[in-house]
């Protein structure tokens, strides 16, 4: 029977408590929040649990084996450190920490004290992600080409982090799990329109083996979108997390380029250089090069079990077996490093020269007249 | 009565011929393609038109007033130059030229000879784009925040250009028309998986007035997507060009940040620095800062007239009046410059340091085991 | 402060309790269910409420002012009758009763004892339905033409009623509210494939003023659909209750037939009788007759407040003011009468003669060969 | 080489001519339309074909082997009869004739003269329908339960037929092909709001083997819908003809009722009669009875070849081989008989007694006040 203390009972904390409390071999002993209203609500939902506004009651309790840290990211390091120092395993909200240095220190501390850290990368336990992992590992998609995610909606504006730290950890943890590689290059662009924090961002990650990932995260979208394309040499899939039923669609589609590639491209190049503008000739050579494949689509049934319930189960299993979880501190660190790299790239706008061609005849913004028709 | 010669009768040429031929004050006199099959097809469709495989018959004809160049981009410069030198107005396929130097030379030549150039930025004549232009110009959206377009599908692989030159000109010409500004910064990332040409790319353009544009173009998508978000301070819209009927949806949605912004952020910062992890307190301050507005959605009726028909009309009107078209050579040049900048950025991958955290305990690609459950 | 007793704590009962309990002027005093597990659950959720398996504790309690009957329909009459006889107001699940005779008796009893009955026609309090009512009453749609609803999904098979009594009460209560008329004619068809109860049914209701309603209810559909078209002379709307955001779309579309209708039809008839098969001539006359109008679409913001919360509020307000609720016993009776008429029609399949043309050359089921191509 | 004459060159005729003309063993010799504009257009499209406004030139030509009748339905009988009398095979637009008596006479005439009739049931050659036929015949769906089609849009109002004769022949010909049985019962309801002809109709067909079909056809819908559900014991499918790519989706979903059905229903009935209103008990028994199955969805690739091209090919093959086409005159007759039965049912509104419960306290149409909230 694992005895758990939970710190933070705001938006996500109640879910953490509920899912751990429903495990037969776990008991939530203490819930802590510095907000008295949250303490009162915790008591209303869980009359049998001790609730407090003093985190030290959790840290110092000899009864508690593990601490779940479900607070804003800026506090993760202090709380997790204190928990580890007091000999407690840690389950910590994503992103793991505010800096990679903090993450490394916590990992080292946990290793030294032989304690476990699990970062709440909830999406790894989502039925659709587990199905995609299964398809990737089984080679159904073939070697991966890309992961391209759009995760946009109106707000919720965070008070202490930009849109990257708010929305990107989901995809970065999934990418880390699916691709199993660290990026070689991270490029981020974005904009800030309201309060100085980036409210939209576009992140590209280049991985070894010519795999590319792209994330479109945006707090200023009029519509909510949660769509990810995953392309491989053999098949490609679309994961739409907002679909109530057919969340993952696998397409038997692809493009193949023939082997006599170099030769054919030589012929194409010759055509181009000879300034033969004839469409048909170039097309004919091109058709030798490229063939399209378009077969059935298949939407596998996806397990609808609440992800956090499986994750709570997995945390308990890992503590019992001593096995390191896939979403351990190192996984958390890798996600934080990608976030840091994106932040850094966003700050140092790379200078691609674009020399304005605007002259005296070029009017400024919103002075381009609409086209008028004499119809 | 304008007499037109058309060079290139491949994929798009027949549409150009059909739309110019249907104008009452225009006659298509000659169609030219170096491919004999295309010549035969031209004759079948338009028995009354002269068809030839020799472009000089178009260039040297004293009867012809204007030439439409509907060939691969690598040939635009030579053909347009020869047409201008022979005193003919030019209607040329997008992108205008293969380099900005070529574009500048053609613009200068046309100006000198008092001839018109129109670049076939067809989408400016699309009913949805015209409606969006109308909404932007009328201030319905308020000051613009962003333009974010996804234009992906499976193929069609081009033989002589990468995906940027194939798919991005559409959005770049629209952006040029809607925003009316030239970008300060262009950043592009992307990947090449088949034949050495980029087959997916992500382009960010930073404009003055804090406007940002982003383009996601991809030849390796299992599904076709043509969706654009346009966000403004007052309203935001979604343009889905694949919707048969409700192509443009205008959302009365937005986020406002209160004026006492700096003060509130100070209080927030104080909370964060005091390591008060209490969710409620931070949320309360935050709620003072940000307010969401969510009203009706409205989908205006969009004119379904074929865009190319309106553009042909506009070309004839501009020749008649001597007025410079909005999509003149300079507009074509601006698009080519953006394409060049994107290409350049794609080539010089900006080096964002990402120091691998992989150690001996970190397995490589596809060796991350799937999570197993003892359920 | 109204004191409420709730009988039945299965699928819907917890929602009734929660919504009444959250009203400031209402207290849920007793929850009753004959299933001990339900009693235990009620206690867990609401430790302060008395829970029992004996309905008489509710009926005879002098403390209780009103009883909510949230049990299977076959028990409504007995429970509601006992509650009324004990001087308690009644809130009863839909459909009101199993027969119209039962409904009439309860209405008479309540009137005699000066007590209120409210039937839980929850959808009247749904934001989309309230918006549609508003549009209809304001004349936005013009005189109504039709209400056409598709309400299909896989199961849930009911144990004691067919698909009509399970799914149709929703639409029938909405129709009763929107149209405000009683039908002149009810025709139902359907099929039973599993356990002898109709599992799919098609119900047509003819109302005065040439208004027609149609319901497609089906327990054997692989997909869930909740879509309703409402057509009027001026505008038409689509209500898709599964859409997360744009539930109601109002189309400025319509068809008008010109006034010189009879004359034109005479000319058409003459053409037909003269056996003039010429398409163009008939079309020309026809075009004089009919004109189509196609304008903008507009999706009004719809209140997302939980319908049952508003309904609980309304029940309390009606008890306080003595005003008869719109969804009173008579509304419940009208819905039951439509259900009875549909059942009756379903049973007495109307005999439309269809004389089989099957001869010796006509093979039976699944012996029609597929068409083969020599391609 | 079959020589074809085509009568009628309005909306559909050009497609018939184009598809027959593209067959290598067929030549379109003559096109006839009484409208001079149509004759002129035929000449423009097909300069090598003889065009005339006199149908006798087709009927009496000794060169012509077969006649395609592509005119309004009221003229089919006369034209087809004359063609058969002149020894010509007939390809005739759907619906075959205006009455079943006409159809029977033509079938008898063709049989006597050893000539072929093919009715243009184009949808039998649609890729989606061919795929569904394949799935049904292979037993993938198991024994059929139902076919439920929604075919609605705004207009096009026909000048000489109601919405049933305009839109229902599509589904009726598909049903005839897929189910291979003739209905035992046809019930139709509907309404007429504009010019006296039914503009919306709901048709139910009961077939042997407990198969039911339902058609919702409507000219007054603000949105276009072309969706059909086909349910079987083992699987169910959705065919959405407006989807650009995934037109057919097969769901591995179903409901099974256990064998000890009668016994369990006895227990349920006992519970109900004992007026045990306990939800849990009834549910428990019910759960023994019914089990749901919910597996993957699969969207097979569907051939996109133009249906009319395959049908033209099939017509030529049948003439060459002497084999009777699946869509012969008898198939046409069966569809006409179903249309006639639907018309007859629509006319004789079955009288389901619905005694109005309206009393003095029941206001009329649009006098039901909207619910008001004191919120």
Concatenating the DSSP letter of every residue in D218-251 gives ESEEEEEEEEEEEEESS-EEEEETT-SS--EEEE
pLDDT at C208 over 70: yes
Q: Tell me which of B241, B244, B246, B299 to substitute to probe the interface with D (most D C-beta atoms closer than 10 Å).
A: B244
Say if the Cβ atoms of A223 and C245 lie within 8 Å. Answer: yes
Cα–Cα distance list, A249 to A292, B45, B221, B239, D131 (Å): 19, 42, 13, 24, 20
Which of C99, C100, C69 has the alpha carbon at shortest distance from C86?
A: C69
Chain pair C-D, CB pairs under 8 angstroms? 373
**Residue A257: CB atoms within 10 Å:** 16
B142 CB within 8 Å of a chain C CB: no
pLDDT in tens, B131-175: 999 999 999 999 999 999 999 999 866 667 899 999 999 999 999
Cα distance between residue C325 and residue B323, in whole Å = 69
Contacts of C244 in chain A (CB under 8 A): 224, 242
Cα distance between residue D218 and residue D168, in whole Å = 10
User: In this structure, what is the dihedral angle of CA atoms C132, C135, C139, C142, given to the nearest 10 degrees?
Assistant: -50
pLDDT at site A159:
63
A255 CB within 8 Å of a chain D CB: no
Lowest mean pLDDT among A225-229, B114-118, B251-255, C327-331: B251-255
Cα distance between residue C155 and residue C169, in whole Å = 16
Among A371-375, D144-148, D158-162, top mean pLDDT goes to: D144-148
Closest CA of chain D from C48, distance in Å: 22
Cα–Cα distance list, A212 to A50, A203, A205, A255, D284 (Å): 48, 11, 6, 18, 52
pLDDT at site B210:
95
3-state secondary structure of B282: helix
What is the Rg, in whole angstroms, of the alpha carbon atoms belonging to chain A? Answer: 25
pLDDT at site A264:
57
Angle at D77 between CA D75 and CA D80, to 5 degrees: 100
Q: Which of B294, B295, B299 sits opposite C297 (nearest CB)?
A: B299
Which of A145, A153, A82, A148 has the alpha carbon at shortest distance from A115?
A: A82
Chain A's closest residue to C242, CA to CA, is: A244
Lowest mean pLDDT among B12-26, C25-39, C134-148, D347-361: D347-361
Say if the Cβ atoms of D299 and A295 lie within 8 Å. Answer: no
Question: Tell me, what's the ipTM?
Answer: 0.89
**Residue C247: CB atoms within 10 Å:** 23
Instruction: Specify the DSSP element, H or E, that contains A223.
Output: strand A220-232
| Helix residue ranges per DSSP H, chain D | 13-21, 36-45, 56-59, 76-85, 100-113, 127-137, 163-179, 261-273, 279-289, 307-321, 329-347
Angle at A48 between CA A42 and CA A52, to 5 degrees: 45
Sign of the CA dihedral with C216 first, then C219, C222, and C227 last: positive
Give the count of alpha carbons within 13 A of C368, CB side only: 25
Average pLDDT, chain B: 88
pLDDT in tens, A84-103: 999 999 999 999 999 999 99
What's the pLDDT band for D258 if we cut at 50, 70, 90? Answer: low
Among A287-301, B349-363, D34-48, D138-152, top mean pLDDT goes to: D138-152
Task: List the structure tokens of C73.
Answer: 């329909």
Say if the Cβ atoms of A159 and B282 lie within 8 Å. Answer: yes
C299 CB within 8 Å of a chain B CB: yes
What proportion of chain D, given as a percentage, has pLDDT over 70? 84
Residue A292 has phi, psi (to 5 degrees) of: -100, 145
Bridge-based pairing of strands A200-207 and B144-154 is unpaired
pLDDT in tens, B38-47: 999 999 888 8
Residue with tokens 């004549």: B125
Say if the Cβ atoms of A238 and B223 lie within 8 Å. Answer: yes
pLDDT at C264 over 60: no
How confident is the model over B102-112, as a mean pLDDT? 98
Lowest mean pLDDT among B122-126, B291-295, C64-68, C187-191: B291-295
C276 versus B241: which is more confidently predicted? B241
Cross-strand bridge partners of residue A253 = A294
Say if the Cβ atoms of D296 and A299 lie within 8 Å. Answer: yes
pLDDT at site D273:
61
Cα distance between residue C373 and residue C366, in whole Å = 19
Say if the Cβ atoms of C223 and A242 lie within 8 Å. Answer: no
pLDDT at site D370:
72
Cα distance between residue B275 and residue A8, in whole Å = 13
Which of B2, D2, D372, B29 has the alpha carbon at shortest distance from C314?
A: D372
Cα distance between residue D40 and residue D45, in whole Å = 9
Q: Which of B47, B223, B244 sits opposite D47 (nearest CB)?
A: B47
Supply the angle between the helices C13-21 and C36-45 in degrees, to the nearest 10.
30
Which of B74, C291, C218, A193 has the alpha carbon at shortest distance from D229?
A: C218
DSSP string for residues in C254-305: EEEE-STHHHHHHHHHHHHHTT---HHHHHHHHHHHEEEEEEEEEE-----S
C-alpha B165: how far from chain center = 10
A25 versus B375: which is more confidently predicted? A25
Q: Which of A296, A300, A301 sits opposite D299 (nearest CB)?
A: A296
**Residue C281: CB atoms within 10 Å:** 17
Residue with tokens 């009017």: A363
Contacts of C180 in chain D (CB under 8 A): 363-368
C246 CB within 8 Å of a chain B CB: yes
pLDDT at site D352:
45
Cα distance between residue A235 and residue A144, in whole Å = 9
pLDDT in tens, D59-96: 999 999 999 999 999 999 999 999 999 999 999 999 99
What's the pLDDT band for D360 if we cut at 50, 70, 90? Answer: very low
Which of A3, A12, A2 has the alpha carbon at shortest distance from A33?
A: A12
pLDDT at A269 over 70: no
pLDDT at site C373:
62
C217 conformational bin, left if phi > 0, alpha if psi -120 to 50, beta if neither: beta
What proportion of chain C, given as a percentage, has pLDDT over 70? 83
pLDDT in tens, D156-193: 666 678 999 999 999 999 999 999 999 989 999 999 99
Task: List the structure tokens of C141.
Answer: 């749609």
B294 versus D53: which is more confidently predicted? D53
Task: List the structure tokens of A131.
Answer: 């199905």
Using the CB atoms, write b or e for D172-193: b if 16+ within 10 Å. Answer: bbbbbbbbbbbbebbbbbbbbb
Contacts of D279 in chain C (CB under 8 A): 8-11, 13, 33, 35, 38, 71-72
pLDDT at A287 over 70: no
Cα–Cα distance list, B108 to A186, B102, B326, C73 (Å): 41, 10, 17, 85
pLDDT at site B268:
57
Say if the Cβ atoms of B223 and D245 lie within 8 Å. Answer: yes
pLDDT at site A47:
83
3-state secondary structure of C117: strand
Q: Tell me which of D246, D254, D293 to substitute to probe the interface with A (most A C-beta atoms closer than 10 Å).
A: D246
Q: What global pTM score does this model have?
A: 0.89
How confident is the model over D130-147, as a mean pLDDT? 96
What proportion of chain A, given as a percentage, has pLDDT over 70? 83
Q: Which of B245, B296, B300 sits opposite C300 (nearest CB)?
A: B296
pLDDT at A285 over 60: no
| Contact between residue A265 and residue A286 where contact means Cβ atoms under 8 Å apart | no
Bridge-based pairing of strands B144-154 and B220-232 is antiparallel
| Helix residue ranges per DSSP H, chain B | 13-21, 36-45, 56-59, 76-85, 100-113, 127-137, 163-179, 261-273, 279-289, 307-321, 329-347
| Contact between residue C339 and residue C169 where contact means Cβ atoms under 8 Å apart | yes
How confident is the model over A326-348, as a mean pLDDT? 93
Task: List the structure tokens of D127.
Answer: 């890729």
pLDDT at site D365:
38
Using the CB atoms, write b or e for A92-115: b if 16+ within 10 Å. Answer: bbbbbbbebebbbbbbebbeeeeb
What is the Rg, in whole angstroms, of the alpha carbon atoms belonging to chain C? Answer: 25
pLDDT at site D270:
64
How confident is the model over A29-51, as a mean pLDDT? 92
Angle at D206 between CA C147 and CA D325, to 5 degrees: 110
Task: List the structure tokens of A7.
Answer: 């710190």
| Contact between residue C121 and residue C94 where contact means Cβ atoms under 8 Å apart | yes
Task: List the structure tokens of C305.
Answer: 């407040």
pLDDT in tens, B231-249: 999 999 999 999 999 999 9
Residue A356 has phi, psi (to 5 degrees) of: -60, 140
How confident is the model over B275-300, as a mean pLDDT? 67
Contacts of D296 in chain A (CB under 8 A): 298-301
Q: Which of residues 84-113 of A touch B (CB under 8 A)?
A: none
Among C159-168, C248-257, C306-315, D253-262, top mean pLDDT goes to: C306-315
3-state secondary structure of B21: helix
What's the pLDDT band for A42 if we cut at 50, 70, 90? Answer: very high
Cα distance between residue D129 and residue C41, in whole Å = 51
pLDDT at A375 over 50: no
D202 CB within 8 Å of a chain C CB: yes
pLDDT at site A284:
53
pLDDT at D354 over 90: no
Chain D's closest residue to A304, CA to CA, is: D294
Residue C278 has phi, psi (to 5 degrees) of: -60, 120
How confident is the model over A280-287, as a mean pLDDT? 54
């Amino acid at each position: 029977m694992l005895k758990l203390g939970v710190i933070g009972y705001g938006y996500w904390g109640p879910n953490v408590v509920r899912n751990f409390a429903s495990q037969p071999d776990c008991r939530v002993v203490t819930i802590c929040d510095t907000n008295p209203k949250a303490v009162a609500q915790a008591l209303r939902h869980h009359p049998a649990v001790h609730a407090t506004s003093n985190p030290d009651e959790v840290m110092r309790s000899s009864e508690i084996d593990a601490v779940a840290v479900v607070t804003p990211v800026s506090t993760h390091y202090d709380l997790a450190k204190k928990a580890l120092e007091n000999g407690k395993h840690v389950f910590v909200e994503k992103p793991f920490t505010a800096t990679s240095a903090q993450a490394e220190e916590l990992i080292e501390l946990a290793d030294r004290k032989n304690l476990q850290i699990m970062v709440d990368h909830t999406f790894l336990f989502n039925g659709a992600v587990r199905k995609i992992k299964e398809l990737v590992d089984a080679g159904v998609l073939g070697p991966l080409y890309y992961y391209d995610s759009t995760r946009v909606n109106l707000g919720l504006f965070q008070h202490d982090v930009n849109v990257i730290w708010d929305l990107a950890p989901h995809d970065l943890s999934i990418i880390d799990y699916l691709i199993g590689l660290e990026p070689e290059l991270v490029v981020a662009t974005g904009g800030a329109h309201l309060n100085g924090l980036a409210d939209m961002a576009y992140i590209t990650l280049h991985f070894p083996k010519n795999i590319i990932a792209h994330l479109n995260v945006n707090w200023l979208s009029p519509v909510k979108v949660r769509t990810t394309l995953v392309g491989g040499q053999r098949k490609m899939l679309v994961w739409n997390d907002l679909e109530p039923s057919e969340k993952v669609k696998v397409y038997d589609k692809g493009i193949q380029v023939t082997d006599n590639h170099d030769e054919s491209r030589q012929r194409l190049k010759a055509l181009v250089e000879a300034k033969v503008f004839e469409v048909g000739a170039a097309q004919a050579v091109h058709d030798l090069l490229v063939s399209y494949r378009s077969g059935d689509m298949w939407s596998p049934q996806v397990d609808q079990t609440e992800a956090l319930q499986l994750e709570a189960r997995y945390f308990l299993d890992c503590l019992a077996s001593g096995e390191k979880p896939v979403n351990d501190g190192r996984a958390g660190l890798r996600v934080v490093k990608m976030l840091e790299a994106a932040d850094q790239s966003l700050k140092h706008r790379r200078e691609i020269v674009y020399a304005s061609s605007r002259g005296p005849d070029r009017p400024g913004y919103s002075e381009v007249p609409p086209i008028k028709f004499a119809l």
